């Protein structure tokens, strides 16, 4: 049954996509900043994994937290020092600012790491398992499970910890949050840092599946756009739903129309959904 | 009256450029005029109506491809240019009616994705567009100097037309309606302004000249490919120029285009491998320290923020 196989591929892909998008969705939802740096953050995470694997012999699954921490520091610094200064300016300003920062960081990566596509080849390879007639590559499944675990951790962090409640409070109402004694500027930096953490960790996990290159950043960023619009903005379940839906759409459009149309289909869908139902498929807002 | 005088003086002075400089100066002048067209056009939807559009690359590439395909079927050049403008304008109206009800980030993303979709489609329909191989345009049987002068004056006429359209728009009812929409769309609708139609027309006006600019560009460089003319930088550069000059101002976009071009040339010359980073740094500094631009006033910004 080819449909079962395509379905399984789509769901696995969807798990990876959820992890790509959840940090982007958090930053957009809470800070109202479209972080065009997100794609570059993911690629940076992948480079951390690449160099830890080749220099330190660290498995990409183990270097994911390390990549996340490094990216957290970078994100915290960027938001605290630069983006916070214009966070209340009109949409155009923050969007343009993150575009400028992305040009800077992406160009820095090109100079430092070159545009060559690199790949982590695991020794020994993980192989694949067969469930009936459906064959699943184990590396993808492992990455999906870890990605979902990370996403779930973020969800629990937002729901249960004091830090998480402060972020949710900010998402509901910046001014009221400030009145309740939340240091909005600091928490904005922390939120942006967490978004960067998720991107870095996701990039590190994905490094065993996708080739690594600075040129890939727009690819990841485009996926994050589509997923956020599909799932609705600013909630962890929304990002997960959007990720799975996008994974399925890409798998089935590759089957029916050919793989070269997968990107076109997802972007056309983005415009249609925005035009018809801008709140996304779940139609719910917020990190409540 | 004063604005018309400035326009006439500016165009006349600029038309003297071929007397002074060689082909390099003409090339810079042509690019300057093209950038000014893009920036002025963006200012209609982004500055006047207040909608953060990233669709410029889509209009530019669409115009370039429309005229290149027609030129390949041996349609006369000027006719192909005009057709490119019509194609871009029609596209803008249709898409505009679908996405102009979105606000803020949502509109920005929808407009940003347009160019991506068009690029992918151009890549896919290789029979018509040549796909990733790109399209060659018919070579004109002129000398290099004649060609440089011709395209310089073509862009100059286009920028003059764009400027005239902007000046007429400023004084018109439509321009007034767009300013109302920018300041408070709900209030504007309450007062009986047909916001939907006004925004669609503004979007169309911001597309038509960009489409023709794309067409002239295609004829000028003789070869286009999807990654070149649908480049996201064509969406971002005009915005940066307008930010340099002052958002929502009349002549700000033109000044911004000149400043931007000079910076770009200097950067390309001295820092080839890190030109993107320098551009990025420029954008960051601009947003942080000069958000009103060179001609913008603080008061104007307060109004714009609503």
| Cβ of residue B76 closer than 8 Å to a chain A Cβ | no
pLDDT for residue A280: 64
d(CA B6, CA B8): 6
Q: Which two tokens stand for residue B295?
A: 């001609």
Q: Identify all chain B residues contacting A28, using CB atoms and an 8 Å cutoff.
A: 105
Q: Identify all chain B residues contacting A229, using CB atoms and an 8 Å cutoff.
A: 106, 109
d(CA B224, CA B69): 11
pLDDT for residue A286: 43
Residue in B109, B116, B121 closest to A34 by CB: B109
d(CA A1, CA A46): 35
Q: Which two tokens stand for residue A258?
A: 């050919």
Q: What is the 3-state secondary structure (H, E, C) of B86-132?
A: HHHHHHHHHHHHHHCCCCHHHHHHHHHHHHHHHHHHHHHCHHHHCHH
pLDDT for residue B53: 92
Q: Identify all chain A residues contacting B94, using CB atoms and an 8 Å cutoff.
A: none
Q: What is the pLDDT of residues A53-96, one digit of tens each?
A: 989 888 888 899 999 999 999 999 999 889 888 877 777 888 88
Residue in A91, A99, A268 closest to B104 by CB: A91
Nearest chain B residue to A276, by CA: B98
Q: Identify all chain A residues contacting B277, using CB atoms and an 8 Å cutoff.
A: 103-104, 107-108, 111
B197 found inside a domain = yes
Distance of CA B59 to the CA centre of its chain: 8
| Cβ pair B280:A95 closer than 8 A | no
d(CA B99, CA A199): 29
Going residue by residue through chain B (306 aa), what tens digit of pLDDT does each one get? 788 888 888 888 888 888 787 888 899 999 999 999 999 999 999 988 889 899 999 999 999 999 999 998 888 999 999 999 999 999 999 999 988 988 877 888 889 889 988 998 898 888 888 887 888 888 878 888 888 889 999 999 999 999 999 999 988 999 999 999 988 888 888 888 888 899 999 999 999 999 999 999 999 999 999 988 998 889 989 998 998 888 888 888 999 999 999 988 888 777 778 888 888 888 888 888 877 777 665 444 434 433
Residue in B110, B117, B277 closest to A108 by CB: B277
pLDDT for residue A178: 87
Q: Identify all chain A residues contacting B98, using CB atoms and an 8 Å cutoff.
A: 271, 275
| Cβ pair A104:B282 closer than 8 A | no
- Give the helix, strand, coil percentages of chain B, each rounded to 5: 80, 0, 20
Q: Which two tokens stand for residue A132?
A: 């009936």
| Cβ pair A274:B106 closer than 8 A | yes
pLDDT for residue A52: 92
d(CA B298, CA B306): 13
B:236-295 residues touching chain A, CB 8 A cutoff? 236, 239-240, 243, 273-277, 279-284, 286-288, 291
pLDDT for residue B296: 64
Q: What is the ipTM of this complex?
A: 0.80
Which residue in B297, B210, B290 sits closest to B250, CA to CA? B297
d(CA A64, CA A206): 10
Number of CB atoms found within 10 A of residue A276's CB: 8
Containing domain of residue B164, as a range?
2-232
B154 found inside a domain = yes
| Domains: count for chain B | 1
What interhelical angle do A2-31 and A162-172 show, nearest 10?
A: 80
B:36-65 residues touching chain A, CB 8 A cutoff? 46, 52
| Cβ pair B283:A32 closer than 8 A | no
Domain A2-276 sits in CATH 2.60.200: no
| Cβ of residue B73 closer than 8 Å to a chain A Cβ | no
In a mutagenesis test of the B interface, which of A27, A85, A92, A228 is the best target, namely the one with the most B β-carbons within 10 Å? A92
pLDDT for residue B207: 96
Nearest CA-CA distance, residue B298 and chain A, Å:
13
**Using CA atoms in the order A216, A220, A221, A225, what is the torsion angle rounded to 10 degrees?**
150
| Cβ of residue A96 closer than 8 Å to a chain B Cβ | yes
pLDDT for residue A282: 59
DSSP state of B11: H
| Cβ of residue A81 closer than 8 Å to a chain B Cβ | no
pLDDT for residue B35: 96
**Using CA atoms in the order A241, A243, A245, A249, what is the torsion angle rounded to 10 degrees?**
180
Within chain A, which residues score under 50 in pLDDT?
Answer: 285-288
Residue B35, Cβ density class (10 Å: 0-12 exposed, 13-18 middle, ≥19 buried): buried
- The model carries a pTM of 0.86
pLDDT for residue B80: 94
Nearest CA-CA distance, residue A172 and chain B, Å:
18
Nearest CA-CA distance, residue B12 and chain A, Å:
34
What residues form DSSP beta bridges with A225?
A: none
């Amino acid at each position: 049954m080819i449909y079962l196989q395509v379905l399984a591929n789509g769901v696995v892909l969807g798990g990876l996509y959820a992890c790509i998008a959840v940090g982007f969705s958090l930053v957009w939802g809470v800070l109202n900043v479209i972080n065009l740096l997100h794609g570059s953050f993911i690629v940076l995470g992948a480079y951390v994994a690449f160099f830890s694997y080749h220099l330190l012999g660290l498995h990409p699954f183990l270097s994911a937290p390390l990549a996340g921490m490094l990216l957290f520091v970078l994100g915290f610094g960027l938001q605290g020092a630069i983006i916070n200064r214009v966070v209340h300016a009109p949409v155009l300003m923050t969007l343009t600012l993150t575009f400028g920062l992305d040009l800077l960081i992406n160009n820095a990566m090109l100079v430092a790491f070159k545009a060559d596509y690199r790949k982590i080849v695991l020794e020994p390879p993980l192989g694949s398992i067969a469930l009936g007639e459906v064959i699943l590559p184990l590396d993808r499944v492992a990455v999906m499970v870890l990605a979902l675990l990370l996403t779930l951790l973020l969800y629990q962090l937002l729901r249960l910890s004091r830090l998480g409640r402060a972020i949710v409070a900010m998402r509901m109402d910046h001014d009221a949050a400030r009145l309740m004694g939340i240091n909005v500027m600091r928490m904005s930096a922390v939120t942006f840092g967490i978004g960067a953490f998720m991107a870095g960790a996701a990039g590190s996990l994905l490094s065993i599946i996708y080739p690594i290159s600075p040129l890939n950043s727009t690819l990841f960023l485009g996926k994050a756009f589509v997923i956020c619009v599909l799932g609705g903005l600013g909630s962890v379940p929304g990002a997960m739903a959007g990720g799975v839906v996008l994974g399925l759409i890409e798998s089935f459009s590759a089957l029916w129309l050919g793989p070269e149309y997968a990107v076109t289909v997802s972007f056309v869908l983005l415009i249609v959904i925005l035009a018809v139902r801008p709140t996304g498929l779940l139609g719910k807002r917020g990190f409540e | 009256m004063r604005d018309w005088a400035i326009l006439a003086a500016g165009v006349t002075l600029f038309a003297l450029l071929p007397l002074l400089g060689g082909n390099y100066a003409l090339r810079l002048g042509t690019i300057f005029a093209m950038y000014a067209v893009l920036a002025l056009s963006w200012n209609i939807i982004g500055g006047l109506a207040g909608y953060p559009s990233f669709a410029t690359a889509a209009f530019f590439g669409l115009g370039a491809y429309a005229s290149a395909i027609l030129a390949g079927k041996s349609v006369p050049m000027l006719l192909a240019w005009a057709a490119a403008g019509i194609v871009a304008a029609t596209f803008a109206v249709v898409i505009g009616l679908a996405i102009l009800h979105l606000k803020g980030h949502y509109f920005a993303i929808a407009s940003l994705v347009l160019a991506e979709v068009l690029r992918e489609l151009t890549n896919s329909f290789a029979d018509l567009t040549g796909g990733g191989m790109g399209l060659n345009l018919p070579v004109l049987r002129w000398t290099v100097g004649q060609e440089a002068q011709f395209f310089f004056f073509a862009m100059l006429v286009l920028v003059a037309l764009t400027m005239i359209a902007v000046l007429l728009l400023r004084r018109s009812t439509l321009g007034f309606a767009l300013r109302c929409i920018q300041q408070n769309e709900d209030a504007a609708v309450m007062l009986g302004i047909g916001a939907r139609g006004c925004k669609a027309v503004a979007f169309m006006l911001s597309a038509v000249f960009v489409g023709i600019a794309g067409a002239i560009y295609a004829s000028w460089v003789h070869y286009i490919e999807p990654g070149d003319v649908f480049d996201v930088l064509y969406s971002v550069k005009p915005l940066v120029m307008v930010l340099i000059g002052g958002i929502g101002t009349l002549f700000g976009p033109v000044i911004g285009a000149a400043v931007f071009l000079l910076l770009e040339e200097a950067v390309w010359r001295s820092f080839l491998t890190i030109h993107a980073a320098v551009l990025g740094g420029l954008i960051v500094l601009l947003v942080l320290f000069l958000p009103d631009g060179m001609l913008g006033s603080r008061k104007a910004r307060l109004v714009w923020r609503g």
